[in-house]
Amino acid sequence: MTATVLVAGGNGYIGSHVVVELAAAGFYPVVIDNLANSNPEATRRVTGIAGRDVPLLVGDVRDGAFLDEVFRAYPIDVVIHLAGLKAVGESVAKPLLYYDVNVGGAVGLFQAMDRHGAKRMVFSSSATVYGDPVTVPITEDFATGATNPYGRTKLMIEEVLSDLVASDPAWQAISLRYFNPVGAHDSALIGEDPNDIPNNLFPFIAQVAVGRREKLSVFGNDYATPDGTGVRDYIHVVDLARAHVRATQALLQGTIAGGAHMPINLGTGNGVSVLEAVHAWRRATNRPIPYEVVARRPGDVAACYANSELAEKLLDWRADFDLDAMCRDHWRWQSRNPQGYGEPG
């Protein structure tokens, strides 16, 4: 099946992997990105992996005139919306920025899609919409309730999509609720390239392993989990990217019908503790990964992992890569690119 897919935020960590998998499946991806949190080198490398040119159009999803140009230039069939800001702490400090970029950007993009009759949307949502879940594993019908402005932007955008599809059955929408994306493409050409000190566990451990940081701080070992440390559902970014291909196909084939907005969890279904992750990293790198247990991080939940049966049922998708593969591929990217993509240029 060939179709043109607009990937907003496609120059970023997850987006670059989505573009690779779309091209491998025979789609024509077109990337828009304002480079707020990424380096154009990413799409240059994606072009190398894909073996064909992938257009990178630099612009902002809040810029309607820019979007009109893009929709006039390309016959867009499906839009995958990954563009936005994602740092929880920053969202608490700068809520207006987050509501503007994330909610304003999404609404602007949906308006442009509406104007040009391109009404199929795959949206990057997050497990953060479940807040502090009452139990695990989490199914899509669990109560939602985000605990910070970033999470609320995701919930608001999901609600906008529900209202939109209810108002016009020509719209079809899937919100993919990602659990914890990690790892990198096995070429080691693309991967996550955090600007500052990483907040997330895998990029932080990767920088400890490569010698950029002295040791990991483990945020609490007194949670009600098997070893006391926080439990999450890490998912290989290539598995995640392939789910976007399946979602795109489901929209084009009408498996997800018009007038429906379907939230779908993307996780492996396996809960992994911080200490289990440290041990897996030691196996993958043969390096010691020193750590120290410190206080809990405010706002953290004890355990969060997915029931991913709906993705299997609706998208015929399940995660293939295990924790060792996630560490191996993340490490290969980090060790071959210790400074990420380097300076933008």
Give me the active site residues, please: 150
Q: How far is the CB of 62 from ligand NAD (least distance, A)?
A: 6
- Asked if 35 is part of the footprint of ligand NAD (rule: CB under 6 A), the reply reads yes
Cis peptide bond prior to 226, omega within 30° of 0: no
Ranges within 73-112 binding ligand NAD (CB under 6 A): 82-86, 101, 105
Euclidean distance between CA atoms 161 and 262, whole angstroms: 9
Comparison of 90 and 114: residue with beta carbon closer to ligand NAD = 90
- Asked if 178 is part of the footprint of ligand UDP (rule: CB under 6 A), the reply reads no
Q: Which does 235 bind (CB under 5 to 8 A by kind): ligand NAD, ligand UDP, none?
A: none
Q: Which H or E run contains 73? A: helix 64-73
Euclidean distance between CA atoms 48 and 315, whole angstroms: 28
- Asked if 34 is part of the footprint of ligand NAD (rule: CB under 6 A), the reply reads yes
Q: From residue 216, give the alpha-carbon distance in Å to each of 208, 261, 280, 304.
A: 7, 40, 14, 21
247 contacts 5 by C-beta, under 8 angstroms: no
Q: Which does 83 bind (CB under 5 to 8 A by kind): ligand NAD, ligand UDP, none?
A: ligand NAD
**Angle CA 110–79–166, to nearest 5:** 50
Binding mask 152-191 for ligand NAD (x = CB under 6 A): --------------------------x--x----------
154 contacts 106 by C-beta, under 8 angstroms: no
Q: Which does 165 bind (CB under 5 to 8 A by kind): ligand UDP, ligand NAD, none?
A: none
Q: How far is the CB of 308 from ligand NAD (least distance, A)?
A: 15
Q: Which does 230 bind (CB under 5 to 8 A by kind): ligand UDP, ligand NAD, none?
A: ligand UDP
Among 72, 115, 215, 297, binds ligand UDP (CB under 6 A): 297
Contacts of residue 99, defined as CB under 8 A and 6 or more positions apart, other chains included, come to 149, 153, 156
Ranges within 313-342 binding ligand UDP (CB under 6 A): none
- Asked if 232 is part of the footprint of ligand UDP (rule: CB under 6 A), the reply reads yes
Euclidean distance between CA atoms 19 and 50, whole angstroms: 8
Describe the crossing of helices 201-209 and 274-285 by its angle, rounded to 10 degrees: 40
Continuous H helices in 193-319: 201-209, 237-253, 274-285, 309-315
In sequence order, the β-bridge partners of residue 234 are 180
- Asked if 218 is part of the footprint of ligand UDP (rule: CB under 6 A), the reply reads yes
Among 84, 131, 181, 230, binds ligand UDP (CB under 6 A): 230
What residue ranges bind ligand UDP (CB under 6 A)?
A: 180, 199-201, 204, 216-219, 230, 232, 274, 297, 300
What residue ranges bind ligand NAD (CB under 6 A)?
A: 9, 11-15, 33-38, 60-62, 82-86, 101, 105, 124, 126, 178, 181
